[in-house]
Amino acid sequence: MEEKLHLLFDSGFIKSYGNMEPVLGKPEKAAQNPLFRNDSRKKTGVIPQNDPWKYQIYCSYPNIFRDPVLRRYRCYYTVLLETEEGKAGTKTERGSGLITALAYAESEDGLHWERPALGLVEFRGGRENNLLRLYAHGSSLFYDYSEERADRRYKLFTRDDRNPVGMCVAFSEDGLRFGDYIPAGIEERIIGDTHNFCSFDAEKGEYFLTTRAFSNKNRLVMACSSRDFIHWSGAKQIFRGDTPEDQSYSMPVFSYAGLWFGLVSIYHGGDMDSPLYDKVECELVYGTDRESFSRVVPHESFLPLGSGKDAYDDGCIYCAAPVEHEEEFLFYYTGGNGKHTGFKNASLQLASLKKSRLAGMAPKDRERPGRLTTLPMPLKGQKLLLDSERERGGYICCRLLAADGKVTAGFDFQDFDRPSEKNGEWTLTWNGQKSPAVPGDYMLEFTVYKAAVYQLKEVWEA
């Protein structure tokens, strides 16, 4: 069976529309949140003395994947550690007594996590911790399916916070024991104190890095590429916010349905009277390639900050690239219940969303129907499956237009078979027919009322 996906918010698939606008999908946060916290610290700042991770006062920038060798979920994340000079309960502001490190956790099911005492790194006189490297800042770590050398299957990109500060890479055969750092040769203007996210682009056969720089004190997302993971290209800007209240921070990326998506952390500086001042939200951006990204829905959170006294993510959210699980995207993220420059009692959390529901189109004025017409597409007997959702009283109709705009006989609105289900994926048919008897290029014209359309899937059955 062959499939082709079209996301209905994508301007590259739309010929015209009226009274319609893009809408974001709504990831559902897991009832088990938080999955684990940075330590056993209570809100009072008191730490049990038998806690082996009691000096980890902040965690962020998670990298999570399902390991094909161990068949377990693995999580690599950045922590701030209190040194001998630090004090328990101090705020996580840069300065004396705090150093960065790369920490590790693993899970059988992606919900219940263990932070094993690895014995790899000595810190404060002991090795009973889950640390992989000291002074590693904003690390990215992934399993490289394309790598032929077993000793380089696990790849690490990080900033080494020791003097001189430098961006570097390292390799491992087991995902725990890494070789010496190799300088990456990234230009000096790249600060790198963010999630330096790396992935492999199989289509182009190269590695892709998103990181951060500053322009006139505002943050912006930069990108580099590499063929061998060691020598990297010059950096270029791929996304930036609009104002000091809208600064782009870290941005893990992923691809789906022929598009690239970014989970950009937006730092709200600027207006100190704003309720969002010094907080970090997560927005969804996209592009037809990796060269430039735009907002799907400007200034609307994809993973909204939590609220209420028991929220663990009401101040900052930093999301990992999603893990694909059957028909869902699993969005793991670290959420903090404090502001960006203050102490954040951070924890690993999870939200999930059906893949086809990343974003769609819905009527701008909910009291009037909207219309959307696709570009011409060849129909040769394949099934067309639409993923949508409807409110009570809502409906979706569709008809086929020839390339010249004329209605195809037998495939008008009155011939359309409306579904009985309010939500989900269903096959488009007209009086039981899935496509015209004569193959050709046809446009789909939708009428949408109190509903949203997300994804169109073409399916050719063997």
Q: Which of 3-7, 55-59, 94-98, 213-217 holds the top average pLDDT?
A: 3-7
- In percent, the amount of the chain with pLDDT more than 90 equals 76
Are both 7 and 108 inside the same structural domain? Answer: no
**Residue 369 phi, psi (nearest 5):** -65, 150
Question: Last residue of a domain, which of 334, 355, 376?
Answer: 355
Contact 25, 361 (CB under 8 A): no
Task: Give the mean pLDDT of the chain.
Answer: 90
Are both 263 and 379 inside the same structural domain? Answer: no
Confidence check: pLDDT of 247 > 60? yes
Question: Last residue of a domain, which of 326, 355, 384?
Answer: 355
Are both 142 and 219 inside the same structural domain? Answer: yes
Are both 256 and 281 inside the same structural domain? Answer: yes
Are both 265 and 400 inside the same structural domain? Answer: no
CATH assignment at residue 205: 2.115.10.20
CATH assignment at residue 374: 2.60.120
Are both 272 and 287 inside the same structural domain? Answer: yes
How would residue 38 be classed by pLDDT, with cut points 50, 70 and 90?
low
pLDDT of residue 304: 95
Are both 263 and 404 inside the same structural domain? Answer: no
pLDDT of residue 39: 53
Contact 40, 51 (CB under 8 A): yes
How many structural domains are present in the chain? Answer: 2
Confidence check: pLDDT of 254 > 90? yes
Are both 253 and 402 inside the same structural domain? Answer: no
Are both 125 and 270 inside the same structural domain? Answer: yes
Any idea which of 40-49, 129-138, 312-321 has the lowest mean pLDDT? 40-49
pLDDT digits (tens, 9 = 90+) for 343-362: 567 899 999 999 999 999 99
pLDDT digits (tens, 9 = 90+) for 149-190: 999 999 999 999 987 678 999 999 999 999 999 999 888 788
Are both 216 and 317 inside the same structural domain? Answer: yes
- Cα 416 to Cα 101, 392, 411, 425, 458: the distances in Å are 59, 20, 7, 16, 18
Confidence check: pLDDT of 66 > 80? yes
Are both 219 and 203 inside the same structural domain? Answer: yes
Any idea which of 47-51, 200-204, 300-304, 383-387 has the lowest mean pLDDT? 47-51
Q: Of 299, 229, 292, which Cα lies nearest the Cα of 260?
A: 292
Confidence check: pLDDT of 95 > 80? no
Q: Which domain holds residue 185?
A: 28-355
- Cα 109 to Cα 67, 116, 178, 332, 397: the distances in Å are 12, 16, 26, 13, 41
Confidence check: pLDDT of 6 > 70? yes
Question: Last residue of a domain, which of 305, 321, 355?
Answer: 355
pLDDT of residue 343: 59
Are both 378 and 293 inside the same structural domain? Answer: no
